[in-house]
Amino acid sequence: MTVPAQVDQGSRAPARRGRKLRAFTHNPAFVAGSVILALFVLMAVFADVLCPGDPFDMVGQPVLWPGQDPEFPLGTDSLGRDVLAGLVHGSRVSLLVGVVAAAIGLAIGTVVGALAGFFGGWVDTWLLRVVELFQTTPTFLLVVVIVAIGDPTVQTIAVAIGVASWPTVARLVRAQFRSLREADFVMAARSLGYGNIRIIVQEIMPNALPPIIVAASVMIANAILTEAGLSFLNMRDPNLISWGGMIGSGRDLLRTAWFLTALPGVAIALAVLSLNLVGDGLNEILNPRSDP
């Protein structure tokens, strides 16, 4: 009598995977966000193919409007640099800073939050004090201070944003671990003699993953916006072009050539929107509690 039950349980796994696959394809917001994000990633990867040459080269007449010259579909800036080339090559820096900063913030926040939420007691108290210490300082101000102390390179900017953004993730992970550490599957793992590290990594972390995934997408978006703010304040890598740097360069011509700030601004808005849509979709699809 146990064989049919085992067969039935085995047949549920493909059905569950099929439901999740359909959830991916039948979520219009997730599909739209994925398409937009994929286009930006492809644009960054093949930037040298799409727009060969140095985006800092002065290749045309200054301040050509979009459509005014077929050679420069999106016009030129005040120095005669191709705006399209700037957008394409700038996607590399903006996306790279976002991904690296989010990875650093997630790594620090996940470790701190997992330890605080799982062990509790004095570990939770001391780590929570460290989190509160970082949260008392405005995130953008802390990033500005770190970048000002070091050289305004892409590496410094990414590390500064990651170091300043981890407390939110730590609190999120801590809350997830506090709610899951007394769950039945954790008690079963303890009864089997599993160690704390194994329970944290293999038992609790997979169940706490969906909100962390959403936090990752939001952190990448926030990192892109923070980098744009730093570039607007001229705290950017002068050797690399980014969307924020293009906005900062075009602010002096905002009244006469508003497209110089509008076009990179639209690129940032679309990238942030796509990341939010992908994060929301992944949270809905990967959440284990969504299975019937």
- The residue with greater pLDDT, 269 or 234, is 269
What's the confidence (pLDDT) of residue 2?
40
Q: 3 in a domain, yes or no? A: no
Query: What's the whole-number mean pLDDT along residues 226-245?
Result: 86
The per-residue pLDDT of the chain, averaged, comes to: 84
Judged on CB neighbours under 10 Å (0-12, 13-18, 19+), 9 is exposed
In the chain, the percentage of residues whose pLDDT exceeds 70 is: 89
Q: How many domains is the chain partitioned into structurally?
A: 1
pTM of the model: 0.83
Q: 157 in a domain, yes or no? A: yes
Whether the CB-CB separation of 235 and 147 falls below 8 Å is answered with yes
pLDDT tens across 174-199, in order?
A: 988 988 888 888 888 888 888 888 88
Q: 200 in a domain, yes or no? A: yes
pLDDT above 60 for 5: no
Q: 10 in a domain, yes or no? A: no
pLDDT above 90 for 40: yes
CATH of the domain at 93: 1.10.3720.10
What's the confidence (pLDDT) of residue 23?
61
Angle at 251 between CA 250 and CA 253, to 5 degrees: 70
Tokens representing residue 54 in the block:
């140095």
In the structure, what pLDDT confidence band is assigned to residue 20 with cuts at 50, 70 and 90? Answer: low
Tokens representing residue 59 in the block:
């290749």
Q: 28 in a domain, yes or no? A: yes
Lowest mean pLDDT among 7-16, 100-109, 278-287: 7-16
In the structure, what pLDDT confidence band is assigned to residue 214 with cuts at 50, 70 and 90? Answer: confident
Q: 103 in a domain, yes or no? A: yes
> What domain range is 65 assigned to?
20-290
Q: Residue 214 contacts by C-beta under 8 Å, 6 or more apart in sequence? A: 279, 280, 282, 283
pLDDT above 70 for 25: no
What's the confidence (pLDDT) of residue 102?
92
pLDDT above 50 for 9: no
- The residue with greater pLDDT, 151 or 90, is 90
Q: 9 in a domain, yes or no? A: no
Query: What's the whole-number mean pLDDT along residues 239-264?
Result: 87
Q: Which phi and psi angles does 58 have, rounded to 5°?
A: -90, 100
What's the confidence (pLDDT) of residue 6?
43
Q: 1 in a domain, yes or no? A: no
Query: What's the whole-number mean pLDDT along residues 8-26?
Result: 56
